[in-house]
């Protein structure tokens, strides 16, 4: 009888985990089961222009993790938008730069503006996690912009 109860509890716990979108991997990454990607749990922690962000995500960030993963990149705008919490009940949190952000709580930003991979000539798109919109800026600007690494699981 005790085995049946333990088995049912195990199945119930497994189903709960499967329904969660974000799972903290305990190594500085979070798996996003909805998008099929893995996110860094933090950004680069300082002002960075687009080219520096692209290089940091691909060549520096992977070596800061205990577990080595490949194919890190800057996220698309759609990927960034999916992290924004629109619900009124969620207040978000204050970042190191003093900006309040409404991003999923599993990811900690040091400031609310994050570079995307989408670029044209000398500009690239940035997502604002304070207000939930994107805009375009010159890639040479740093203005409290951050790099948030992501990688596809496939």
Residue 10, domain member (yes or no): no
How is residue 108 annotated by DSSP?
A: B
Question: Considering only 11-15, 65-69, 131-135, 144-148, which range has the smallest mean pLDDT?
Answer: 11-15
Domain of residue 103, residue span: 24-152
| Band of pLDDT at residue 5, cut at 50, 70 and 90 | very low
The predicted structure's pLDDT at residue 154: 85
**Helices within 29-133 (DSSP H only):** 50-55, 77-81
Residue 77, domain member (yes or no): yes
What is the distance between the alpha carbons of residues 129 and 51, in angstroms, rounded to a whole number?
21
Q: What is the mean pLDDT of residues 123-130?
A: 98
Residue 2, domain member (yes or no): no
Three-class secondary structure of residue 65 per DSSP: coil
The tally of domains found in the chain comes to 1
Q: What is the mean pLDDT of residues 135-147?
A: 97
What is the distance between the alpha carbons of residues 99 and 17, in angstroms, rounded to a whole number?
32
Residue 5, domain member (yes or no): no
Residue 8, domain member (yes or no): no
Q: Is residue 121 predicted with pLDDT exceeding 90?
A: yes
Residue 66, domain member (yes or no): yes
């Amino acid at each position: 009888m005790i085995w049946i109860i333990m088995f049912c509890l195990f199945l119930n716990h497994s189903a709960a985990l499967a329904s969660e979108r974000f799972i903290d991997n305990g190594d500085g990454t979070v798996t996003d089961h909805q998008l099929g990607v893995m996110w860094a749990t933090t950004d680069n922690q300082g002002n960075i222009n687009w080219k520096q962000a692209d290089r940091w995500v691909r060549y520096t960030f992977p070596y800061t993790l205990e577990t080595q993963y490949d194919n890190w990149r800057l996220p698309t705008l759609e990927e960034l938008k999916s992290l924004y919490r629109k619900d009124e009940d969620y207040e978000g949190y204050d970042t190191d730069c003093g900006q309040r952000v409404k991003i999923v709580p599993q990811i900690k930003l040091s400031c609310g503006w994050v570079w995307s991979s989408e670029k044209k000539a000398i500009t690239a798109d940035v997502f604002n996690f304070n207000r939930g919109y994107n805009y375009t800026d010159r890639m040479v600007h740093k203005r409290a912009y951050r790099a948030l690494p992501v990688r596809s699981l496939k």
